[in-house]
Amino acid sequence: MEPVSVQRKGKKREKYTCSHEPLEFPSCRVCGKKSTGIHFGVYSCEACKTFFRRSFLRSTPYKCDKGGDCLINAEKQNGSRPCPACRLVKCLDLGMSKDGVKQGRYTMTQRTSVILEVQKLRDQTSNRLATDPENTHPGIQGDRQIKDGCELDCNIFHQDSQDDGTLSETSGGSYTIHSSSSSSNSPHIQDKEIVELAQEVGRTSIILGEESTKESGVPCLDKSEDILQRIMTGYGYLEHFTKSMTDEEIQDILDKEWMKHTDKTKLFGKLEYLPTDQYNDIYEKTQLDVDGRKKLLSEAKYEFMKMANDYVKFCKNIPFFSGLSLEDQKALLKCSHFEFFTILQHKGMNTEKEMCISYTGKVLPLSETCPYTSKETLLGWAEFSEEVSKLQLSPEEFALMLGICVTFRDRCPLDYPEDVENIQKRLLETLEFTLSKSHYENKGRRLAKLLDLFVRLRVIGDEYLELYKVICQDPIMRENLPEFLIYL
């Protein structure tokens, strides 16, 4: 008796999409930044959560040099590094502990409590902004008003892979990536949910807000102190893993991971990536991820969106960057991203061990960092990073260097290059002002060393941009990490 084939009838079940708004949490109890939930028993941001977790690994206790009464508040610190000893004391006083780690979903009672608390805080903020005449940044006329600490959230919508998305500013000052053909029931998610939910994101391009109403002209900038204060506010939004770590702490992490990698190499041999053409040919025939690059790219989704989110937040705090034309903002962000992150993450590169630390704290050997880039090229970038490390940049120098690297008028075609040049000129004057206070006797020599970095960085930056265009054509990259394409 022959088996009878049965055909299924009816429509194919539609893919489930969540229709509710994402749950928002109260501010971080430790530093006041936007929290991502309850970590170690207390509402806290990613930076404070990571700091508290790292404190378990220390062999020596933190020490405060100012009497143990330092202010721990991200908004009032203007980007300066918080005292780790006082930060840890505040974490413990608030009740953070290993025992506070919880697993599982929020109950309805917990969810309702969070919503009510967030709504209460919003009402308080709205009342304060309505009655406080000093909620605008002093002396900043060209920028759009930055409200309540410049909370610029990089949210994302599902979209078809054929559509080009845009990152645009909402009325509340937050930023969303959206598609012109996105359906009305597309789920609205926070950047923390990107890894699970952004599987269908297509190529995106960066747009930072509504187009400026004026055609050209950057207004007169204020004193160097005001410019420094403003850009240090932007620096405070950068949350790279190594930001608040000492060189010794970074080296300790790299040494431990290098030992693990060495042991793995002894057992399994060198685990190198295949040439791209060879991998694609094998994958097309077998659908096997033979060297693990699909897994690597998929796991990097959140990392790249977090980097882009922080990048936008910083650039919106470069004085009068928002006053530039829309097209010039886009062009500068796209052409400068490599130089920006090369300077930003210089402390996490090590040529001796050939290891690196990513933006969110993943430690990898250089040979396993990128399947599309040769080890020799990566070592060249790492050598430059070590040269930056030798200069021991202060937070103020660091922030100004980042702002300067984004505002080169000759980096890409611009509508109003004179406006960009004027902004960079004032940043350079502010850097000179800063050096006159910190390196009075050898200010000129220090400035020359810092500016020399940009000359050398331009060479490897041009090399990277050519490589970037090639990488973006790879179908495996486009399928598994479309977030990488946002700078095209």
**166 in helix, strand or coil?**
strand
- pTM for the full predicted model: 0.58
String of b and e for 322-359 (b: at least 16 CB within 10 Å)? Answer: bbbbbebbbbbbbbbbbbbbbbbbbbbbbbebbbbbbb
CA–CA separation, 55 and 60 (whole Å):
10
- Work out the average pLDDT over 263-271: 83
**181 in helix, strand or coil?**
coil
- Work out the average pLDDT over 314-325: 90
In this predicted structure, the answer to whether residue 210 has a pLDDT above a threshold of 50 is no
Q: Which residue has the tokens 């206070």?
A: 437
In this predicted structure, the answer to whether residue 54 has a pLDDT above a threshold of 70 is yes
In this predicted structure, the answer to whether residue 404 has a pLDDT above a threshold of 90 is yes
- Work out the average pLDDT over 151-171: 34
Closest residue by Cα to residue 337 from 367, 364, 315, 370 = 315
In this predicted structure, the answer to whether residue 128 has a pLDDT above a threshold of 60 is no
Closest residue by Cα to residue 335 from 210, 466, 208 = 466
Chain centroid to Cα 245, Å, comes to: 17
What is the DSSP code string of 137-154?
PTT--SSPP--TTT---E
Chain centroid to Cα 37, Å, comes to: 19
Name the average pLDDT for the chain: 75
Please tell me the predicted confidence (pLDDT) of residue 433. Answer: 92
Strand partners for 189: 156
Please tell me the predicted confidence (pLDDT) of residue 407. Answer: 94
Please tell me the predicted confidence (pLDDT) of residue 160. Answer: 33
Average the pLDDT over each of 55-64, 314-323, 413-422 and give the range with the smallest value.
55-64
- Work out the average pLDDT over 176-189: 32
